[in-house]
Amino acid sequence: MMARLAALLLTLLALPAFAEEKIVIGLSQDEVAISASFTGSEILIFGAIRREVPLPTDSTLGVLITLSGPQVPLSVWRKERRLGIWVNTEQVEVDLAPSYYAVASSGPMNEVLMDIEDVRHSISVPRAIRAVGVGIAGSESFIEALIRIREKEGTYQILEGAIDLEQDTLFRTSVSMPSDLIEGDYVTRIFLTRDGIVIDEFDTVIPVNKVGLERWLYELANEFPFVYGLLAIAIAMISGWGASAAFAALRR
């Protein structure tokens, strides 16, 4: 631990030389529109590192990119088999957790980012969850299960080495977004590191909104739920009548 602190202190003393390195980025699209035919989206994130000093040669450069969806509360349950039936037994309440989270790096996470910097900036997936108030004793196994499930679903992505960093100046990566996105602002953060220490950060937002028929149905359901219910019943009745009429015609 003392060795880590000593290394961090030495790196911080050298930060003035790195302070002239700044991130400049671009996005393949500034917003994502969810329509009736939406099947997901891929965001290309690219950029460059602007320098006003010569390129340092005695330290290692790293780039990390995170894309985070709206924060939502959730409950994580543990199931056990009781009398031949699977039932919920224990739970951990998570105040807020990203509905979608992707983190990409230019190399192995443990080389690009120091643990203490991860604590400060909440970059890794576990830190992104714990940073919003999960501190219950024994909750680690629940959080690990949550991450494992969402990784399998594709809503949490850990993309080590997915950032292409050329000549310590140009970088790019692509992040896939699934079809079941929640509406809201998706925060994109880009971190520039030297020897695992964050020396610059750039934040931007990608709005994700429903459009067309999806937007009309969403607003109708939320603003006029009674009318939406009547419309749903009418559509079901018409569909049932149409199917019955078609079946009767085929039997003739």
Q: Write down the mean pLDDT value for the chain.
A: 80
User: Do 166 and 147 touch, CB atoms closer than 8 A?
Assistant: no
Cα gap 209→199, rounded to integer Å: 33
User: What is the per-residue pLDDT for 133?
Assistant: 45
| Main-chain dihedrals φ then ψ at residue 32, nearest 5 degrees | -120, 125
Band the pLDDT of 171: cuts 50, 70, 90: very high
- Contact residues for 34 (Cβ-Cβ < 8 A; gap 6+): 181, 183, 208, 209, 210, 211, 214
Token digits of residue 166: 């050329």
pLDDT tens, residue by residue, 67-115: 999 988 888 877 777 777 877 677 777 888 899 999 999 999 999 999 9
Are β-strands 197-210 and 32-34 bridged in parallel, bridged antiparallel, or unpaired? Answer: parallel
pLDDT, one tens digit per residue, over 50-79 is 887 777 777 889 999 999 999 888 888 777
Q: Check: CB of residue 79 under 8 Å from CB of residue 89.
A: yes
Confidence of residue 131 (pLDDT cuts 50, 70, 90): very low
Task: Quote the CA–CA distance of 237 and 235 in Å, as a whole number.
Answer: 5
Residue 236 is encoded by which pair of tokens? Answer: 């079901």
Asked whether residue 163 carries a pLDDT value surpassing 60, the answer given is: yes
